Amino acid sequence: MSGAAYLAWRYLLHHRIKTLILVLSIALIVFLPIGLRVLVRQSAAQLTARAEATPLVLGARGSALELVLASLYFDAEPPPSIAYAEATRVDESSLAEAIPLHLGFRTRDKPIVGTTLEYFELRGLHVAAGRMLAVLGECVVGARAAAELGVGPGDALVSSPETVFQLAGVYPLKMRVAGVLAPSHTPDDGAVFVDLKTAWIIAGLGHGHRDLADAKAQTDVAAREGGRITAKASVVEYNEITPENAASFHFHGEQAELPISAILARPRDAKARALLLGRYQAPDEPIQVLRPTAVMDELLETVVTVESYAVAAVGAVGVATLATAGLVFLLSIRLRRREIETLVKIGGSRASVATVLLSEVVGVTLLGIVLAGVLTLVTSRFGEAAIRRFLLS
Amino acid sequence: MATAAFELSDIRFRYRGGDFELRVPELRLEAGERVAVIGPSGAGKTTLLHLVAGIALPDRGKVTTAGTEITALGDAARRAFRARHVGLVFQEFELLEYLSVLDNILLPYRINPALRLDTPARARARALANGVGLGEKLGRPPARLSHGERQRAALCRALVTEPDLVLADEPTGNLDPDNKQRALDALFAYADRSGAALLTVTHDHDLLPHFQRVIDFKSFWSSGS
Amino acid sequence: MRLAALLLLLLLLPACSPESQAPAPDAAATAGPLVVYTVNAPLGWMAQRIGGEAVEVRFPAPADVDPALWSPESETVAAYQGGDLILLNGAGYAGWVARATLRRRALLDTSAGFQDRLIPVEDATTHQHGPKGDHSHGEVAFTTWLDATLAAEQARAVAGALADTRPADAETFATGLAGVESDLAELDHRLADAAASLGEAPILFSHPVYQYLGRRYRLNGRSLHWEPDAHPGAGEWRSLEALLREHPARLMLWEAEPVPSTAQRLKALGVESVVFAPCGNRCGDDWLGAMQDNAARLEAALR
């Protein structure tokens, strides 16, 4: 290290607090817009990846963004429900495979997603512990949800007693954890999945009780006309589906009329997709079909705009910070006037004296830039994981 | 005739903002000579040292130091010359607070590329420090030294480059008698050892018996005309 | 708010360790026979005859249960999930399917094509919750294969699903289907001939599982609720005697060999017992053979 650079280094070390503050300030000013841009790009990539993995979403007409956010990220109020018949309509069109979703219930703070086995195929999800859900009343839990809820295969989860479809409220259902999914680094990691029929049971649209034809169930019977039994309202319904009582669970009404929140549609090919999109264009059509990528692109445009404003704001703060830093340097030089005179008097060359002074500026700036570079690397490396953990779930 | 340590010829220097002018028709110091310039505090004695060292240039006249007419040199050359041949002891010591004692002593080597910080230089620095009782405190910052220790460190810095000429500005100012003597001993020991000339400006009459020649600074004053 | 969260993110990054990517699931084997699960033996026979070596038929119900009422363990249901095709009888058969999570695309309701011809169960019990509450629907009879023509329709549905799933073997499936249709047509003829000789003569069914047989072959039958391995009680004998006064049957079809004392007492009443096993579960080596045996026993009883 040259003599002058050594002196500069000793100076910086001696005034370590001032040096640290200046280095951090410069590092932040350099890093913030870059880091912001990295994070926004990574967020956009993740949001886009999820949307790209979902060809089409169908749901009730209304807010497209809310429908997409609810069905892809489970992160919004559930959209207005549509009839299960709409999923059958898609299937019977032979244009796409329909994967119904039932949203709205939670267990503790984790969303319960009612769906079919095809959902797991679509998302590439597979079981890491235990097995896939097989019968009514079972659930499989996303990797992160399992860790946070502290559950594994064989444990139980109880749905939260929230009202979704019925003002009268629904009883909580105790579900058996059949398996835990492998991490997918998507919102699926934070969800609890049940069969669609289990979701309907949680909603109170299906239930189990003892056989009303049984002699022991007479206290539950309000009236009997031949083979037609009217049950009392006080009949006790099971709040857990077990191998012993599973056969008693049933639904009243037509399955086609039961509610779902959305349909993920997997078209056969591009032509089928276009045809399917065309089928829902009528003005009086109560169902909307969305391409999630288009909806997310609109959202991301807004995010990018906000990012630009944020970067501009950071830039303005940065200019102010750099001006302040410049002022600090100038004041520092002024305070070191006597030192400069001493260096000149004992024969310090102009270059050496200038180097000593400028090295402070250069040293702090370089350290700030290096720190900004490190922060940027760290952001690039860990940003995706942090986004998944704190923003997308 | 042997080369003088320095020679001032027909020097005129007007103090800024003042009516007084420094006039030195002739002042010469031989190699190895010890000369004290006596005068009251604030009389401008430091300026005389600056003229000899080439820190300031006279309005008129010639300054020759160690055989080199420094008034004919450019600023960079004068600085390099000064770094190599002149050792300066400042009235306020002027140690750099962010450097250790050793780094302060070695400062001349770090701020002029004409000087090379090599092993002999480092050895000289340690030897000088040991000689003045600072051998155990080389790693300390000036803030942790006593007044006398700081002065001795400044002395070592002035002597580490083995200058031909040592200019000391009030080297014993504010020192107790013990430290005053130690400072003088260090200066004189170097001068005796190296044959360097020593020019000291002081207001302390107690020092005068130690010098071979005493010059009254008042003789260099003149009112401006 | 999102911007604030993004900025906060910067402080929390070191807390996030990169997670390893989940290994991709193994790609489903596209080579090898199609794995076909069924809910009863007749469909298993059809699938095997139609599919030949292109299929591997699995029917995991234990041999001693009635598959119509069987409730498999969760692990067994999980095995069904692995099937390329899951053949359902429909008509409410195997109620466990409604409570299971199976791949919808793999499910085939083999009686979907004749929903309008399903026979409602008389005197079924339904219930509703409250005077105006939703009500449960009555049941339908589910032993559709006892009508050989309906069995042929089910076989055609199986062949169609196999061809959709493995188009490369469509020719094999078509050939197999032709053989099945031929066999079922022959069975149909045989049963029709036997029924013709019976004419309008009243007969009895030990259990209400012969609805489709009765309808197809115009049998004048009435159903009891007698288990082959149980001794009917005195009340049941009295009910039977009352029934015989208005429905003088000379023949009773049993799902399985009745207890000898029951058969003897029936014989004393003039009622011949004939085993006509519905064969919902495995019957001997071959379902068709078992049905042919049914036909043979019926023919022998009518001679």
ipTM score: 0.88
CA separation, residue C226 to residues A178, C209, C236, C248, C295 (Å)? 40, 11, 9, 18, 21
User: Which positions in chain C touch A386 (Cβ < 8 Å)?
Assistant: 9, 12-13, 15-16
User: Which positions in chain A touch B76 (Cβ < 8 Å)?
Assistant: 349-350
Q: Tell if the CB–CB gap between A134 and C81 is shorter than 8 Å.
A: yes
pLDDT tens-place string over residues C89-106 = 999 899 899 999 999 889
Q: Tell if the CB–CB gap between B110 and A4 is shorter than 8 Å.
A: yes
First and final C-alpha spacing in chain C: 89
CA distance C134 to C292: 44
Question: Average pLDDT, stretch B40-62?
Answer: 86
Q: From edge to edge, which strands make up the β-sheet containing C55-58?
A: C55-58, C34-38, C85-88, C107-109
Q: Is B76 on the interface with A (CB under 8 A)?
A: yes
| Residue A120 φ then ψ, to 5° | -70, -30
User: Which positions in chain B touch A344 (Cβ < 8 Å)?
Assistant: 55, 79
pLDDT of A129 strictly over 90: yes
Q: Tell if the CB–CB gap between A138 and C25 is shorter than 8 Å.
A: no
Whether B contacts C, i.e. 3 or more CB pairs less than 8 A apart, is no
Assign B178 a pLDDT band (cuts: 50, 70, 90).
Answer: confident
Q: Tell if the CB–CB gap between C103 and A381 is shorter than 8 Å.
A: no
Q: What is the pLDDT of residue C28?
A: 43
Q: Tell if the CB–CB gap between A347 and B99 is shorter than 8 Å.
A: no
Q: Is B144 on the interface with A (CB under 8 A)?
A: no
CA nearest to B106 within chain A: A3
- Of A316, A318, A199, A312, nearest to A259 (Cα)? A199
- Measured in angstroms, the CA of A28 and the nearest CA of chain B are apart by 27
Q: What is the pLDDT of residue A55?
A: 92
CA nearest to A341 within chain B: B94
- Measured in angstroms, the CA of A11 and the nearest CA of chain B are apart by 6
Question: Average pLDDT, stretch B142-151?
Answer: 91
Q: Tell if the CB–CB gap between A7 and B110 is shorter than 8 Å.
A: yes
More confident site: A159 or A389: A159
- Of A127, A101, A126, nearest to A115 (Cα)? A101
- Measured in angstroms, the CA of A355 and the nearest CA of chain B are apart by 9
Contact B119, B127 (CB under 8 A): no
Assign B177 a pLDDT band (cuts: 50, 70, 90).
Answer: confident
CA nearest to C70 within chain A: A247
Q: Is B99 on the interface with A (CB under 8 A)?
A: yes
- Measured in angstroms, the CA of C75 and the nearest CA of chain A are apart by 8
Q: Which of A116, A246, A306 sits opposite C71 (nearest CB)?
A: A246
Residues in A lying within 8 Å of B, measured between beta carbons: 3-4, 6-7, 10-11, 13-15, 338-339, 342-353, 356
Subunits adjacent to chain A (3 or more Cβ pairs under 8 Å): B, C
Question: Average pLDDT, stretch A146-169?
Answer: 80
Residue with tokens 């640290």: A20
Which two tokens mark A120? 């797991």
**Which pairing describes strands A127-130 and A138-141: parallel, antiparallel, or unpaired?**
unpaired
Q: What is the pLDDT of residue C187?
A: 96
Helix (H, G, I), strand (E, B) or coil at B168: strand
pLDDT of B180 strictly over 60: yes
User: Which positions in chain B touch A15 (Cβ < 8 Å)?
Assistant: 98
Q: Which of A6, A342, A356 sits opposite B90 (nearest CB)?
A: A342
Q: Is B126 on the interface with A (CB under 8 A)?
A: no
Assign A386 a pLDDT band (cuts: 50, 70, 90).
Answer: confident
Q: Which of C13, C22, C125 sits opposite A182 (nearest CB)?
A: C22
Which two tokens mark A313? 């704001």
Q: Tell if the CB–CB gap between C9 and A39 is shorter than 8 Å.
A: yes
User: Which positions in chain A touch C24 (Cβ < 8 Å)?
Assistant: 124
Which residues are within 8 A (CB) of B34 and not within 5 positions of it... i.e. 6 or more apart? B188, B191, B197, B198, B200, B210, B211, B212, B213
pLDDT of A300 strictly over 50: yes
- Measured in angstroms, the CA of A282 and the nearest CA of chain C are apart by 29
CA nearest to B84 within chain A: A347
Which two tokens mark A328? 């600090």
Assign A235 a pLDDT band (cuts: 50, 70, 90).
Answer: low
CB atoms within 10 A of CB A327: 10
Q: Is A139 on the interface with C (CB under 8 A)?
A: no
What is chain C's mean pLDDT, rounded?
Answer: 87
User: Which positions in chain A touch C18 (Cβ < 8 Å)?
Assistant: 381-382, 384-385
A57 forms beta bridges with A264, A290
pLDDT of A226 strictly over 70: no
Q: Is B83 on the interface with A (CB under 8 A)?
A: yes
Which two tokens mark B82? 């000064």
Q: Is A371 on the interface with C (CB under 8 A)?
A: no
Assign A221 a pLDDT band (cuts: 50, 70, 90).
Answer: low
Assign C18 a pLDDT band (cuts: 50, 70, 90).
Answer: very low
Q: What is the pLDDT of residue B162?
A: 93
Assign C23 a pLDDT band (cuts: 50, 70, 90).
Answer: very low
User: Which positions in chain A touch B141 (Cβ < 8 Å)?
Assistant: 14
Lowest mean pLDDT among A45-54, A265-274, C230-239: A45-54
Which two tokens mark B153? 């460190």
pLDDT of C131 strictly over 70: no
Q: What is the pLDDT of residue A213?
A: 62
Q: What is the pLDDT of residue A212?
A: 64
Assign C151 a pLDDT band (cuts: 50, 70, 90).
Answer: very high
User: Which positions in chain B touch A10 (Cβ < 8 Å)?
Assistant: 98-99, 103
Q: Is B112 on the interface with A (CB under 8 A)?
A: yes
pLDDT of A304 strictly over 90: no
Contact B11, B48 (CB under 8 A): no
More confident site: C57 or A297: C57
Q: What is the pLDDT of residue C20?
A: 41
Q: Tell if the CB–CB gap between A136 and C99 is shorter than 8 Å.
A: yes
pLDDT tens-place string over residues C45-55 = 999 999 999 99
Q: How many CB pairs under 8 A join A and B?
A: 79
- Measured in angstroms, the CA of C59 and the nearest CA of chain A are apart by 17
- Measured in angstroms, the CA of B80 and the nearest CA of chain A are apart by 6
Q: If you average pLDDT over each of A5-9, A110-114, C7-11, C279-283, which comes out highest?
A: A110-114
Q: Domains plus CATH for chain C?
A: 34-116+138-185 (3.40.50.1980), 190-302 (3.40.50.1980)
Q: Tell if the CB–CB gap between A343 and B90 is shorter than 8 Å.
A: no
pLDDT tens-place string over residues A47-90 = 888 899 999 999 999 999 999 999 999 977 889 999 999 999 99
- Measured in angstroms, the CA of A199 and the nearest CA of chain C are apart by 12
Question: Average pLDDT, stretch A261-272?
Answer: 94
- Measured in angstroms, the CA of A321 and the nearest CA of chain B are apart by 26
> What is the 8-class DSSP label of residue C250?
S
Identity (one letter) of the amino acid at C161? A
Assign A188 a pLDDT band (cuts: 50, 70, 90).
Answer: very high
Which two tokens mark A346? 């004992």
Per the document, the length of chain C is: 303
Q: Which of A184, A246, A250 sits opposite C136 (nearest CB)?
A: A250
Q: What is the pLDDT of residue C25?
A: 43
User: Which positions in chain B touch A345 (Cβ < 8 Å)?
Assistant: 50, 53, 55, 82, 88, 90, 94
CA separation, residue A50 to residues A69, C100, C160 (Å)? 10, 29, 36
pLDDT of C11 strictly over 60: no
Q: Domains plus CATH for chain B?
A: 4-223 (3.40.50.300)
Assign C22 a pLDDT band (cuts: 50, 70, 90).
Answer: very low
Contact A136, A197 (CB under 8 A): yes
Which residues are within 8 A (CB) of A23 and not within 5 positions of it... i.e. 6 or more apart? A364, A367, A368, A371
pLDDT tens-place string over residues C205-233 = 999 999 999 999 999 999 999 999 889 99
Question: Average pLDDT, stretch A183-195?
Answer: 94
Q: Is C78 on the interface with A (CB under 8 A)?
A: yes
Q: What is the pLDDT of residue B17?
A: 73
pLDDT of C39 strictly over 80: yes
Question: Average pLDDT, stretch C16-20?
Answer: 44
Q: Indicate which of A34, A225, A382, A389 best probes the interface with C, i.e. most C CBs within 10 Å of its own CB.
A: A382
Q: Tell if the CB–CB gap between C136 and A252 is shorter than 8 Å.
A: yes
C-facing residues of A in 184-213 (CB < 8 A) are: 184-185, 195, 197, 212-213
